[in-house]
Amino acid sequence: MMKTHPKKIVPIAPPAEPAAAANGSSPDAPSAHPGSMDEPASEPVQAAPTKDPETPETAAAPVTAKEIEQFKNRAAKADEFYDQLLRKAADLDNFKKRVTREKLEAAKFANEALLQKLVPVLDNFDMALAAADNADSTAAQSLRTGVHMIYQQLKSALAEAGLEEIDATGKPFDPNQHEAISQKETTDVAEGQVVQQLRKGYRLRDRLLRPASVVVAKRPPA
């Protein structure tokens, strides 16, 4: 029978402390090494977003020929409306000018109807004074002087209102101002000249109120 020897017991040494313990640090303190298992995992750093290049889906769509034609039509319409606006503005300006001119004309010739009624009165004065010229008596001459003064006052008032006499004697016949009542054969004056004024003519400023009644010279037959 084989003899057994008892096993020799070798004492086990305690584990060595970390280097941090040798430096006076607590064995429970976390390790300063970045790769330590005790350090919590850091969050991943997000990269800055980059701008993707334009794709056919995001790029501006090309202008079609139909859209170009529509734009041209709208531009032509805009030009047409602008021209119409300019014409309307010009028409309005002309209308304002015409209204202003008509107002001035109306004010200028406002007395026309009144003066037409007073012109025959002047004719009567002319005839009365002509008859008084042939009177020999002193009383008739005194009356003539008084009537003549009234006549001059009336003429002055009418002249201030715009009445003007048309003196046709010795002037060429003018159908715009004269009314030929008859003709007289004569060689003393040129043919077509007024040889006698039968009734005075009158104008209201530059408008004919009544033509002068005249006798016009003509050449006698050879």
CATH 3.30.420.40 for the 112-218 domain, yes or no: no
Distance CA 127, CA 150 (A): 14
Percent of the chain with pLDDT over 70: 73
Express each pLDDT in 76-123 by its tens digit: 999 999 999 999 999 999 989 998 888 888 777 777 888 888 888 888
Tokens 């007024």 correspond to 194
Domain boundaries, the chain: 112-218
Full-prediction pTM beyond 0.75? Answer: no
Give φ, ψ of 47 to 5 degrees.
Answer: -80, 150
